[in-house]
Amino acid sequence: MEAKSKSLTAERDEMMGSLKTCTSQKTALSTERDSLKRTNSAIEEKSKRLTSEKEDLSRRLNSCTSQKTALTAERDSLKRTNTDTQEKLTRLQSEFTKQRAELHSNTLQLTALRRERDELQTKLTVFERYSKQSWTYFSGSFYYISTTKKSWRDSQYDCWGKGADLVIIDNKEENAFVRKFQKKLWIGLSDRLREGSWIWQDGTPLRTSFWYPGEPNNFRGTEEDCAETKYYDYENSWNDVECTNANFWMCEKKTGV
């Protein structure tokens, strides 16, 4: 009986050990289960959050894609518009350059026309002033013919008083102009300073002359030191005569107009 009791006791103790082990394992499993539940809950929560984020990202991606498509279309439209605008700008710049050149040209022409107008107005004013004073215009000079007679010297003084000189004849055209008035006229030529050296009263030497044949000659030994237009029917119309003689005279005022 005692042996059986020991055996039962041993069996009991073994079963108690197994129970403890089972209880311990049960506790560990419960703990592990609870941990796994918590982990699973966390995973599910994270999965829900990620799913929500994914859906939000999908919506944002779709919106971004739509915006990108719209922006691409707008960009392409703007590119076409920009190309058209650039071409228009190029044309406008070309037209502007052309118009600016035309404006510059027109401005220069206007300035030239104004200058020409002012010059013509100045000439007209000069013409009117001298015409009222019985001056006649020819080839850049005004000419005045006296209505009285004076000596060569007094005639010269009269011209100086008018801001002019006794006429200086430079060429055959001017000589023909003087002759057409058909008067014996003092001209601004003399050899009073040196016999035989004929000079104009402005100091220039005589280069082109229109002496009548045989002139100058100091006729009959007189001092004919001043020149006149005498034989006005001929191209060579000049004659030398005494400076104290009384003659009509012609004044010349160079104007450059």
pLDDT at position 160, please? Answer: 97
List of E strands, 22-161: 136-138, 141-145
Q: What is the pTM of this model?
A: 0.58
The helix/strand/coil state of 129 is helix
Pairwise CA distance, residues 178 & 144, whole Å? 11
Strands (E), the chain: 136-138, 141-145, 165-166, 185-190, 199-200, 226-229, 238-241, 248-254
Both tokens of 64, joined, read 């971004």
* Whether 257 contacts 142, CB under 8 Å: no
For the chain, counts of helices (H) and of strands (E): 3, 8
Burial class from Cβ neighbours inside 10 Å (0-12, 13-18, 19+) for residue 221 reads: exposed
Q: What is the DSSP string of 73-91?
A: HHHHHHHHHHHHHHHHHHH
Q: What is the pLDDT along the chain (257 residues), one digit of tens a residue?
A: 778 878 888 888 888 888 888 788 888 878 888 887 887 777 778 878 877 878 887 788 788 788 888 888 888 888 888 888 888 888 988 888 899 999 999 999 989 989 989 887 887 787 788 888 889 999 989 999 999 999 999 999 999 999 999 999 999 999 999 999 999 999 999 999 888 899 999 999 999 999 999 999 887 778 899 999 998 889 999 999 999 999 999 999 988 66
In the chain, the domains with their CATH numbers are 136-254 (3.10.100.10)
For residue 216, cis peptide bond before it (omega within 30 degrees of 0): yes
Whether the CB-CB separation of 241 and 208 falls below 8 Å is answered with no
